[in-house]
Homo-oligomer: A and B are copies of this chain.
Amino acid sequence: MIEHMDVAVFGAGRIGTIHAGNLARHARARLRYVADVNAAAAQTLAERHGARTSSVEDALADPAVRAVMICSSTDTHADLILRAAAAGKAIFCEKPVDLDVERARACAAAVRKTGVTCMIGFQRRFDPTFAALKQRLDAGEIGVPEMLVITSRDPAPPPASYIAHSGGVFKDMLIHDFDIFRWILGGEAVSVHATGGCPGLPDIAAAGDLSHTAVTLRTSTGALCQINTSRRAAYGYDQRFEVLGSRGLLQAGNVRPTQVTAWSEQSISSDKPEAFFLERYRDAYALEIEHFLDALSNGTPVRTTIEDGIKALELAELATQSWREGRALSIA
C-alpha cells in the first residue's frame, strides 16, 4: 500500500505548472493545493490535476500538507520559506533564495533551527547528461579536475521590464552556473573576475545590466573555471560544459529534439538544441521532484541545499561587484 504525500504548490506560473504536472504524475505524491495571487491561474492549474485552490495561510495550516513548493516570484521566496519552516513543512524553493544575501542567510538559519528539509531548485544537477558526467568524474575517470568551461546561453533576452527587477544577470542567470562550478570542481572559489558587455543589445545596457558575460573563478587547489554567457543565441538554448582532468576530458553536450540528419547540396545538418529550459530540462525537473519526494520518504538529505543556494548567491554578488568595479576580487 503506497502512502501518498500531500503537497501545496505556491505559484501557478510557468515553473509552478511544470512542478505541479510532475507531482500529479508521480505515484507517491498528491497535489492538494495551488495558491497564487492570480486566482484564475491557480484555479486552472488546480482543476487540471484535481487539486483545490487555497491561500498560503490555509495550506500551511493544514496538517495533511507535508511539503510546499515555492514557485512564486523571487521577492516572495524568503517570506514563504520562513513561514513554511515555522509551520514545519518540507520546502522545495526555486532559485534564488533571495536577491539579498543577508535575507537568504536568515532563511538558512530558520531552516537549520526548525530542522525542516529545504531543497533549492538547481535542476541542472538532475539533468541526465550532467548527472552522468558528475558520476563519472567522481568515479575518477579523468583524474583530478583542473579546468571547467561553461557555456550558458539563452535563446532570446527577456523584456526590459524583467531585466529591471531581475537582480542583474549574475543573480538571475549565472546563479545556475555558479552552482555547477561548485558541484563539478568540488571546491570554493578563492578569486572571481567578471566582465561583460551588451553587443547588439543596447536595451540591456540601458537597464544597467549585461547581456554577455565572461567570468573566471579559481579554487584553492589552482583549478580554474571560465563561464561565458549570453542572453541571446540565434540557434537556441545552449547549455554545455566540459571539465579537463589530469587524465582526460568530460564534455556535456546539448540535447537535440530528434536524431534526424539531413544531407543536402549545402551541408550536413542536424537539429538545433532544445528551444529553452522547459524543454531542455524536462527530465531534470521530473527527476528533482522525485529526488525531493524520495528524500522526504527516506529521511535522506537533499542534493541541493539552502546552503548551496547561498553559496551560489554569494558568488553572483561577488561577480556583480567585480564587474562594477572593473577588478578581480580575492575571497578571504
Contacts and interface: CB of A to CB of B under 8 A. Distances in A.
Interface of A: 25, 128-129, 132-133, 136, 141-144, 146-147, 149, 151, 153, 191, 193, 195-200, 212-214, 216, 218, 221-226, 228, 230, 232-235, 238, 244-255, 257-272, 326-328, 330
* Copies of the protein in its oligomer: 4
A251 B260 contact: yes
A151 B244 CA distance: 11
A270 B94 CA distance: 32
Contacts of A147: 199, 212, 214, 228, 230
Given A141-B262, A247-B264, 12 more contacts: A147-B230, A199-B221, A214-B226, A234-B247, A249-B262, A249-B263, A265-B272, A266-B272, A267-B270, A267-B271, A268-B272, A328-B328
B198 A222 contact: yes
A151 B149 contact: yes
Contacts of A213: 224
B195 A193 contact: yes
A260 B250 contact: yes
Nearest to A267: B269
Most buried by B among A141, A199, A257: A199
A226 B133 CA distance: 23
A255 B246 CA distance: 22
Contact of A260 (B133, B149, B226, B270): B133
B230 A132 contact: no
B199 A191 contact: no
A136 B262 contact: yes
A234 B268 CA distance: 11
A222 B248 contact: no
A199 B218 CA distance: 11
A225 B264 CA distance: 20
A260 B136 contact: yes
Contact of A271 (B25, B193, B268, B271): B268
Contacts of A265: 234-235, 247-248, 272
Contact of A269 (B222, B228, B246, B269): B269
A230 B141 CA distance: 19
Given A195-B191, A198-B222, A216-B216, A234 B246 contact: yes
Contacts of A269: 266-270
Given A258-B128, A264-B248, A199 B222 contact: yes
B272 A230 contact: no
Contacts of A264: 141-142, 234-235, 247-248, 272
B228 A228 contact: no
B260 A132 contact: yes
